[in-house]
């Protein structure tokens, strides 16, 4: 991933994905997911699309930007669960097995350390921060737009290393699968659910809130779709559940009339290029419908 580390040096906060050795691929699938009941222990693992920066009161470790308006808190309140939220803005795959020091915060423990044998539910939202892919889309690509507003300077920059980029994203499926398997090793009785990312970039059109070069819009959306596809494939490979947030947020991207993801200048409480409260509520509702009675 040299192209992302050297030429795309600037990145924003998003997701944790990890590469771990898991249990064998021949592990049988769960045929009847355990029912989640009031009082069950729920561990939320993820990045800033899970921690929900600025959409509620601050909670959790300083610097991780967890808020009470994020979907783990909303789900826990709806189902009366015992929540352990270890999501943290800027987390990468290594943050699941190694200590992370978030901006303006102190070191936090590896996220998988929160898992116990009596954990009943685990949600994972991972993938976007590996290789700084998402961060580069909303920082480097935006920064390049002024050089060629009607062109595709970001896609051109990445083009010389397209095979490497494709390989990096293709590898995410295995990393998501390994993460889910590692969760099951530590919490063998838990119901494990992988949460996909929402639609951030529009299918058509452009807008001031997403100041990419015109030709880079399709590139950004395609890259995000590939990340989400890897999340789903990883969940399938590990034989755990998957919640499709992409489909549920159709028409709610940054350029929508009623966006669920903030643009460069958030309207209300949100961090730039991160979910609004409505998106987090939608994810909580999807999860409640999936795991609740």
- Rounded Cα distance, 159 and 143, in Å: 17
Q: Are 132 and 11 within 8 A, CB to CB?
A: yes
- Cα separation values, 31 from 171, 176, 241, 246, 263, Å: 27, 21, 11, 25, 41
Is 73 among the catalytic positions? no
Distance CA 286, CA 48 (A): 19
Q: From the candidates 51, 59, 152, 274, which is the catalytic residue?
A: 274
Beta strands (DSSP E) in 24-181 are 41-46, 58-59, 66-67, 82-85, 121-125
Q: Rounded to whole angstroms, how far apart are CA atoms 91 and 94?
A: 8
Picking from 283, 226, 221, 223, the residue whose alpha carbon sits closest to that of residue 255 is 221
Alpha helices in 55-204 (DSSP H): 71-79, 133-138, 140-144, 153-159, 162-186
The rounded distance, in Å, linking the Cα atoms of 240 and 83 is 20
Instruction: Count the neighbouring beta carbons within 10 Å of the beta carbon of residue 292.
Output: 13
Q: Is 274 a catalytic residue?
A: yes
Question: Are 74 and 280 spatial neighbours (Cβ–Cβ below 8 Å)?
Answer: yes
Exactly one of 48, 59, 87, 125 is catalytic; name it. Answer: 48
* Catalytic residue positions, numbered: 48, 274
């Amino acid at each position: 991933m040299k192209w992302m580390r050297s030429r795309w040096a600037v990145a924003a906060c998003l997701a944790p994905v990890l590469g771990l050795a898991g249990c064998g691929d021949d592990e049988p699938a769960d045929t009847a997911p355990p029912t989640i009941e009031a009082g069950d222990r729920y561990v939320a693992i993820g990045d800033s699309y899970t921690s929900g920066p600025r959409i509620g009161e601050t909670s959790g470790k300083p610097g991780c930007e967890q808020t009470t308006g994020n979907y783990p808190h909303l789900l826990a309140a709806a189902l009366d669960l015992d929540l352990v939220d270890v999501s943290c803005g800027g987390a990468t795959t290594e943050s699941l097995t190694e200590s992370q020091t978030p901006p303006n915060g102190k070191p936090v423990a590896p996220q998988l350390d929160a898992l116990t044998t009596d954990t009943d539910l685990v949600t994972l939202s991972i993938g976007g921060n590996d290789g700084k892919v998402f961060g580069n889309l909303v920082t480097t690509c935006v920064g390049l737009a002024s050089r060629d507003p009607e062109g595709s300077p970001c896609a051109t920059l990445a083009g010389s290393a397209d095979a490497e980029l494709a390989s990096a994203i293709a590898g995410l499926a295995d990393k998501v699968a390994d993460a889910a398997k590692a969760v099951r090793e530590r919490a063998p009785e838990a119901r494990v659910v992988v949460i996909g990312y929402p639609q951030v970039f529009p299918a058509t059109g452009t807008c001031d809130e997403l100041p990419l070069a015109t030709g880079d819009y399709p590139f950004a959306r395609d890259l995000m779709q590939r990340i989400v596809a890897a999340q789903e494939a990883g969940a399938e490979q590990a034989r755990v559940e998957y919640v499709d947030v992409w489909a549920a947020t159709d028409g709610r991207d940054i350029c929508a009339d009623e966006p669920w993801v903030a643009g460069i200048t958030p309207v209300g409480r949100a961090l730039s290029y991160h979910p609004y409260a409505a998106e987090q509520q939608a994810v909580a509702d999807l999860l409640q419908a999936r795991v609740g009675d």
